[in-house]
């Protein structure tokens, strides 16, 4: 998906990384550093649930994930319509979908509610348009967790930060009413007393 705000593409271009879509065990084995209770964001620079991903790649990744049951692995996708084929997900995974506006938020809700995972979340980053909370309150299903962030970089078409902050405040207010924990990203540049660092309870 050629998102105009893609930070991964900028980094691949900057560092001259290989853009070939491929699977390499070196990214997952022979193990991970850290300790029980640690959280890992898997595939932060790639889309693991696209139609172009080989089935056995994800099978290997989930097998690897289940070998570390005391650690949490976080997956995020822009292709939530492909999540059902992997449900139910391992008991140590959190599964999320990206939303940037009301349409993609509703799309995330539509598909996330159909899967089984300990935590199902929506990452509203980058927040590119207002997501009217009078509409989201009417949804019959709500995520277990919300991440909210602004767009980074200097793209001319991105909305002013002050406007994004106001949109974020409305989302946070609605989340509080619904009892949904919220994690705000540093790129929102909210005042210290408005920063949220809440985690879901699986």
| Cβ neighbours for 180, distance < 8 A, ≥ 6 positions apart | 142, 143, 144, 145, 146
Closest to 130 (Cα-Cα) out of 163, 172, 178: 163
pLDDT in tens, 160-193: 999 999 999 999 999 999 999 999 999 999 999 9
- Ordered DSSP codes for 25-46: GGGT-S---S-TT-EEETTTTS
- CB 62: neighbour CB atoms within 10 A? 17
> What's 97's DSSP letter?
E
pLDDT in tens, 29-67: 545 677 888 999 998 778 999 999 999 999 999 998 999
* Structural element, H or E, at residue 145: strand 145-148
pLDDT in tens, 84-133: 999 999 999 999 999 999 999 999 999 999 999 999 999 999 999 999 99
CB 101 within 8 A of CB 184: no
| Cβ neighbours for 46, distance < 8 A, ≥ 6 positions apart | 8
Residues 144 and 201: their CA atoms lie apart, in Å, by: 8
- Which pairing describes strands 93-98 and 119-124: parallel, antiparallel, or unpaired? parallel
pLDDT at 157: 86
Domain 38-194 adopts which CATH fold? pyruvate-formate lyase- activating enzyme (3.80.30)
What are the backbone angles phi and psi of residue 75, rounded to the nearest 5°? -115, 140
Terminal CA-to-CA distance of the chain, rounded, Å?
A: 30
What are the backbone angles phi and psi of residue 96, rounded to the nearest 5°? -130, 165
Report the predicted TM-score, pTM, of the whole model to 2 decimal places. Answer: 0.90
Per domain, the residue ranges of the chain are: 38-194
pLDDT at 153: 82
Q: Average pLDDT for residues 138-159, to the nearest whole number?
A: 93
């Amino acid at each position: 998906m050629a998102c105009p705000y893609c930070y991964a593409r900028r980094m691949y271009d900057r560092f001259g990384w290989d853009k070939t879509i491929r699977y390499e065990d070196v990214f997952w084995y022979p193990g991970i550093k850290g300790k029980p209770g640690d959280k890992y964001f898997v595939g932060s620079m790639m889309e693991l649930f696209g139609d172009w991903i080989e089935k056995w790649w994800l099978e290997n990744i989930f097998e690897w994930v289940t070998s570390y049951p005391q650690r949490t692995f976080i997956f995020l996708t822009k292709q939530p319509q492909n999540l059902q084929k992997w449900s139910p997900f391992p008991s140590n995974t959190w599964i999320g979908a990206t939303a940037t506006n009301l349409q993609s938020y509703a799309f995330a809700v539509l598909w996330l509610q159909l899967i089984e995972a300990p935590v199902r979340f929506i990452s509203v980053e980058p927040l590119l348009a207002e997501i009217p909370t009078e509409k989201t309150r009417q949804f019959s299903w709500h995520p277990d967790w919300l991440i909210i962030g602004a767009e980074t970089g200097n793209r001319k078409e991105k909305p002013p930060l002050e406007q994004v902050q106001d949109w974020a405040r409305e989302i946070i207010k609605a989340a509080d009413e619904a009892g949904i924990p919220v994690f705000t990203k540093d790129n929102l540049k909210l005042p210290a007393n408005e920063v949220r660092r809440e985690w879901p309870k699986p």
